[in-house]
Amino acid sequence: MTSPTFDLVIAANRLPVDKEVAEDGSIEWHRSPGGLVTAMESVMRGREAAWIGWSGDAGDPPEPFEENGMYLVPIGLSEDEVTNYYEGYSNDTLWPLYHDVIVPATFRRRWRSSYERLNQRFADAVSEVAAPGATVWLHDYQLQRVPSLLRAIRPDLRIGWFNHIPFPPVEIFMQLPGRETLLEGLLGADFLGFQVRADAANFREACRRLLRAPVKGDVVTAPDGRRVRAAAVPISIDVEELRELATSPETLQRAKEIRAEMGDPEVLLLGVDRLDYTKGIRHRLKAYGELLADGRLDPRKTRLVQIATPSRERLQAYRVLRGQIEQAVGRINGDHADFGDTPVVYMRRSFPKEEMAAIYAAADVALVTPLRDGMNLVAKEFVTCARDDAALVLSEFAGAAGELKRAYLCNPHDVDRLKQTITAAIDAPADERRKRMRSMRRAVLANDVHHWAEAFLASLQAAPELPAEESAR
Ligand code: GDG
């Protein structure tokens, strides 16, 4: 049977749905939580589109199916491929390497060949459902070989790729065995989108240094002579939808209850992260623990709510990190808790989005302190949901710092300064915090997720030239 074909094809490591097995054994698919799915929905609305991705289980993939008006094509991964392509090369080689080697990157030759095989499988699957001349939007570090593998079989396609994570400086990228292969893989695209300008510049510099590719402005000339544009298109959130949720009477009521359940603290600090070593959770806890020990914060009147969503739990680095975080939480509470007063409220699970909005609305100060982060959507979500006089402490190493310039910016490696920044945010006059919050809200509104998606597609259509709107600026 031949498959239907589409003018827009999206490929990402994961499908936009999660599998759930009902009590009677039947399979149901539910829309995955998370920004990418929301973002892409706005692009796909009213268009016929296909999405290629892994279902999340090892074994034979289910047949393609339709869900929510979208044609979904599952890619199968064997147990070995989950270990080698996904946990190995993607999450234990590329992820640490692209995040400033916060933990050392592991290099294994068999991971690399598995990555190549999977990227070929994705390219074949895209080719199968792409109509002649279709637009293809590839996502993220798991699929860096797909652009050139796809172009080799389908030169008619317009191919774009967006990187959700940072692209490292060439001195770090150079450590990667077979590094040229990835660069050549990406240069199969027409347009490459990055979170911030520095990432795009790092990529172009890597091409110049390691492939001797000519670079002019944003444009790299690939070894086959094609011109490929690499530029920043910062991702965002659905501001309108989230704002509506955050300002609903139910959410505001729930925000009050959350504070009351914690004994109406004077200062409610908040951290929301995947449990990942890039997020700086340990540094944040260290700073908070010291502020309590120094007597700068009163453990009876202060709470830090830390939500840590479980992530990549089979990888050693993540298991070690979890132990370290839980030890730090235990130590802080052991030193400072009292009956009814628990200075750190640590929750290692995820919450429905309604509850998340209420938690954002309840907090006084959000601590978004990653050691390195492509963008960090939590920062933008907080700004959208928070009270007018709440404050955001934000790491300079998050892509979001480029847009949220009025946050209380910090270097999370510098624990003393981090402590000062946290207390500055807590102590600032409400008026000052309001001014900053207004300015950050404007910044988030000016670039919401719809704007992001349109900007990416416009750049892809216009590549290698600038899209008309941008060149007019
Ligand atoms: C990668 C890049 C880039 C978290 N806990 C819960 C929950 N979340 C949601 C947040 C937010 C998302 O997960 C996390 O997004 P981040 O941007 O903070 O981080 P990564 O997962 O590392 O994402 C990052 C992003 O891709 C997009 O390009 O910004 O730099 O690393 O939306 O709200 N959502 C719900 N319950 C939870 O408990 N419902």
In total, how many domains does the chain have?
2
Residue 159 φ then ψ, to 5°: -115, 125
- Domain extent for 147: 6-235+451-471
Please give the distance, rounded to the nearest whole angstrom, from the Cα atom of residue 300 to the centre of ligand 1. Answer: 31
Region 58-62 average pLDDT? 92
DSSP 174-211: TTSTTHHHHHHHHTTSSEEEESSHHHHHHHHHHHHHHH
Q: Note whether 174 and 268 are same-domain residues.
A: no
Please give the distance, rounded to the nearest whole angstrom, from the Cα atom of residue 272 to the centre of ligand 1. Answer: 9
Q: Is 30 a catalytic residue?
A: no
Q: Note whether 356 and 368 are same-domain residues.
A: yes
Which ligand 1 atom lies nearest to the CA of residue 349? 38
Please pick, among 199, 238, 373, 448, the residue that the annotation labels catalytic.
Answer: 373
The CATH code of the domain that includes 71 is: 3.40.50.2000
Q: Is residue 1 part of a domain?
A: no
The pLDDT of residue 45 is above 80: no
Q: Note whether 150 and 263 are same-domain residues.
A: no
Q: How confident is the model at residue 51 (pLDDT cuts 50, 70, 90)?
A: very high
Nearest CA-CA partner of 383 in 354, 411, 410, 403: 403
Task: Note whether ipTM > 0.90 here.
Answer: yes
Report the DSSP beta bridge partners of residue 162: 139, 193
3-state secondary structure 71-99: EEEEEEECHHHHHHHHHHHHHHHHHHHHC
Residue 75 has a CB neighbour count (10 Å cut-off) of: 19
Pair 75, 119: CB distance under 8 Å: no
Q: Is residue 219 part of a domain?
A: yes
User: Which of 46-50, 290-294, 385-389 shows the lowest per-residue confidence on average (mean pLDDT)?
Assistant: 46-50
Residue 5 makes CB contacts below 8 A (sequence gap 6+) with 129, 130, 131, 134
Q: How confident is the model at residue 472 (pLDDT cuts 50, 70, 90)?
A: low
The tokens for 399 are 């892509």
Report the DSSP beta bridge partners of residue 137: 10, 160
- pLDDT confidence of residue 458: 96
Q: How confident is the model at residue 60 (pLDDT cuts 50, 70, 90)?
A: very high
Nearest CA-CA partner of 163 in 176, 150, 144, 145: 144
What distance in Å separates the CA atoms of residue 471 and residue 473, rounded to the nearest whole number?
Answer: 5
Ligand 1 site, CB within 6 A: 33-35, 164-165, 235, 272, 274, 307, 309, 350-353, 356, 373-378, 381
The tokens for 2 are 């031949």
Q: Is 164 a catalytic residue?
A: yes
Please give the distance, rounded to the nearest whole angstrom, from the Cα atom of residue 309 to the centre of ligand 1. Answer: 9
What distance in Å separates the CA atoms of residue 177 and residue 167, rounded to the nearest whole number?
Answer: 16
Please pick, among 164, 218, 336, 364, the residue that the annotation labels catalytic.
Answer: 164
Q: Note whether 390 and 456 are same-domain residues.
A: no
Region 89-116 average pLDDT? 97
